[in-house]
Each structure stands twice: as C-alpha cells, then as structure tokens.
Amino acid sequence: MENKIDFVDLKTQYRTYKPEIDNAIQNILNTAQFIQGKEVASLEDNLSAYTGSKHCISCSSGTDALLLALLSLGISTDDEVITTPFTFFATAEAISLLGAKPVFVDIEDKTYNIDASMIKERINTRTKAIIPVSIFGQPCDMDEINQIASEAGIPVIEDAAQSFGSTYKGKKSCNLSTIGTTSFFPAKPLGCYGDGGAVFTSDDSHGKKIRLLMNHGQEGRGKHKYIGINGRLDAIQAAILNIKLKYYNKEISKRNSIAERYTNGLTDIKDIITPAIKKDRTSNFAQYTIRVNNRAEFVNKMSEINIPTAIHYPIPLYQQEVYQELKIDSKKFPVTEMICNEVVSLPMCPYLKKGNQDFIIDTIQNFSGVKK
C-alpha cells in the first residue's frame, strides 16, 4: 500500500488543477460578481454543448434541480410520481416536498436501476411523471421508460445526479428524457467545491420556465410570474466546474480503467458479484459497487485494515421512518430488499493509485478465499 486510501481523493484532484483553479477563484474575488454572471453563463453553454441538451439551467444542488423539474411540470398535492426505492433520499424527498406521493417500483438485480417492465402496472390517472435514477452512473432502460411514459402521456425526469457524462445508445445522460437533472456535490464524478447542480431540457417552454423558477419565478426585475426558489449557482462554483469539465472525459476514462481493474481482480471470487453495464450504454462509475454475501463481516475486515468502504444504500426508501405512513409492503420489493443487504462500494476516483488499488484487490482476494 502506498499511503492512506481515500474513498474519493479530492485533494489530489485539487493539486492536479491547482494553478488554474486558484487563478479562477482569485478572478471571481477580484470582479466581485459572486452569484450568476459570466462564469455561470459560460458553464451553462459548456454543459449544454457537452450533453447535447438545448437548455441547461445551473442551480444550487442536485436536490433543487429535481425540485425545479417537478415544479416546472406542475407536480403538486395528490399527484403520484413513479420512482425507484434504491436511490439517495433526495429523489423521493423532492416529490414529497411538493405534496405529491412517490410510488416505488422494484429494481433490476443486475443494474440496480428501476425495472422498466414493472412501471406500466403502477400508472393510473394520478400519475404525473416517472423519475428513473441512473444509479452509480449507469443509465436506465430509457427507450422502454420513455415509451411507457409517452403512451401514458406523462413526462420523464432522469435523475442523473450520479451519471453526468455516461451515455445511452451514444447519447449523453441528462439528455435522455423530457428533463434531466444532475448534481455537482463535491464527491460526485463532476463535483464543485460546495453545492451545485443543473437541469437540462430540450423543451423550450420548460427551459424558459425552469430558468425563472430557479430565481424566485422572477421575469424581469421585481416581476414575479411563478412561485420559485432561490436556486442560483454561485460564480466560484461555476468557475471551478468550467475548469474540471475540460478534464472530465479523461477522468471518466480513468474511472473506467480502474473499474475494469477491479472487475478483473474480483470477478472470479466466490460470493462477490461485480457491476454489470449493459452493452448499449456506458457508466462514469460514480460508484464501483459490488455485492457480497456477508456484508457486515466484509466491511469490518476492510475497516480493520483501513480500507474505506461505503454502503449505498442500506435502507430502501419505503423503509425510511418518514415513509412509514405510505404503508408499503416490503415483500413487493424482493430485489431491492436483497440488493440493500448486499451492496458495498469500494474506493473509486480517477486518482486512486494503482498500488493502493492492488492492495485493495489483494486484500479482498485473500480474505474471500475460495475461487469460483
């Protein structure tokens, strides 16, 4: 082992781009244009160009991006929104915050994404949208989901908080449905140095509405057309993202090489299941998540030798205290139940040193013992 292993090594990333980032931050301090402005506008242009989406509205977080998308669609009390129970809490939280009800659909056991074949049966007259989440970076079965949605006459929001830069049939995540949302939380694949997010759409009316909603529904100074939020991105975050975006494709390919090395080392181990990426899509490997048989023991052994791991996600959303009132029968989610008990994410970032990764792989090979 070369040194202490970080789960996500943001310090080395900063050192790599330090002169450019320090300079960009200093420029913002000198101009004193802290919120919105030129850097934010150019970031939005760059993100639009990168994803191929006609409109990009940057905002204050991935959670606010979801909220803005749902607000633009007019989601409110008594509406239902279909989503996955295997995601970060914010996906369902944004739905609930608007008074609507999240309707959970079980996931696939290979990709851990929402099972598209089970969506249709949950659609009724109250269903107003579907939010598939591209979990760990892998896009969902978007053609199937878009088809089901279009037959029902409802929109699709891709929660692409983890999948910025991933592709589906050659098209970029965030640009695969009516609206796409992402997050620039520091530990996400494309992270800033605070909170940040963005909303993407190629629909002109949503593009225009979301831009207003993001800034208090304000159309022209002091004129408020909608009830919106303060969802503005600040200029320092935009400047940092503009720099990181230039190197992002290189970072994604490093993440893919690291994922491949993990998979080569771990795939033959009995009781470990490595990630499966479907043929028509790519992942940015926001997380490298394996399934293990006895997770508690696995995590303990790893932490004893100072290898950090994380569990995304131990608790299905329908089991969260706040959703007990939905009275959801966990027996209807056999795959989610199984996956939540078995998943564990390994250190992953473009700056994971080869020596450290070899140490992680050797360690797992040693204590997992028997080969298949």
Ligand X SMILES: *Cc1c(COP(=O)(O)O)cnc(C)c1O
Positions touching ligand X (CB under 6 A) are 61-63, 87-88, 90-91, 133, 159, 161-162, 183, 185, 195, 197
Q: What minimum distance in Å lies between the beta carbon of 183 and ligand X?
A: 3
Of all residues in the shown chain, the one whose CB is closest to ligand X is: 62
Nearest residue (CB) to ligand X, 196 versus 350: 196
Distance CA(238)–CA(40), nearest Å, equals 5
Q: What minimum distance in Å lies between the beta carbon of 60 and ligand X?
A: 8
Nearest residue (CB) to ligand X, 88 versus 262: 88
* Residue from 333, 297, 293, 292 nearest 315 by CA: 333
Nearest residue (CB) to ligand X, 198 versus 235: 198
Q: What minimum distance in Å lies between the beta carbon of 174 and ligand X?
A: 13
Nearest residue (CB) to ligand X, 240 versus 266: 240
Nearest residue (CB) to ligand X, 53 versus 91: 91
Q: What is the 3-state secondary structure of the chain?
A: CCCCCCCCCHHHHHHHHHHHHHHHHHHHHHHCCCECCHHHHHHHHHHHHHHCCCEEEEECCHHHHHHHHHHHCCCCCCCEEEECCCCCCHHHHHHHHCCCEEEECCECCCCCCECHHHCHHHCCCCEEEEECECHHHCCCCHHHHHHHHHHHCCCEEEECCCCCCCEECCEECCCCCCEEEEECCCCCCCCCCCCCEEEEECCHHHHHHHHHHHECCECCCCCECCCCCECCCEHHHHHHHHHHHHCHHHHHHHHHHHHHHHHHHHCCECCEECCCCCCCEECCCCCEEEEECCHHHHHHHHHHCCCCCECCCCCCHHHCHHHHHHCCCHHHCHHHHHHHHHEEEECCCCCCCHHHHHHHHHHHHHHHCCEC
Nearest residue (CB) to ligand X, 53 versus 182: 182
Q: What minimum distance in Å lies between the beta carbon of 102 and ligand X?
A: 13
Q: What minimum distance in Å lies between the beta carbon of 145 and ligand X?
A: 16
Phi and psi (nearest 5°) for 122? -95, 0
Nearest residue (CB) to ligand X, 102 versus 197: 197
Distance CA(145)–CA(114), nearest Å, equals 10
Q: What minimum distance in Å lies between the beta carbon of 31 and ligand X?
A: 26
On whether the CB atoms of residues 75 and 99 are closer than 8 A, the answer is no
Q: What minimum distance in Å lies between the beta carbon of 233 and ligand X?
A: 11
Nearest residue (CB) to ligand X, 162 versus 237: 162
The first and second tokens of residue 299, run together, are 């995590």
Nearest residue (CB) to ligand X, 164 versus 356: 164
Q: What minimum distance in Å lies between the beta carbon of 133 and ligand X?
A: 5
Q: What minimum distance in Å lies between the beta carbon of 159 and ligand X?
A: 5
Distance CA(352)–CA(202), nearest Å, equals 36
Q: What minimum distance in Å lies between the beta carbon of 39 and ligand X?
A: 19
Nearest residue (CB) to ligand X, 155 versus 189: 189
CB atoms within 10 A of CB 4: 9
Distance CA(155)–CA(158), nearest Å, equals 10
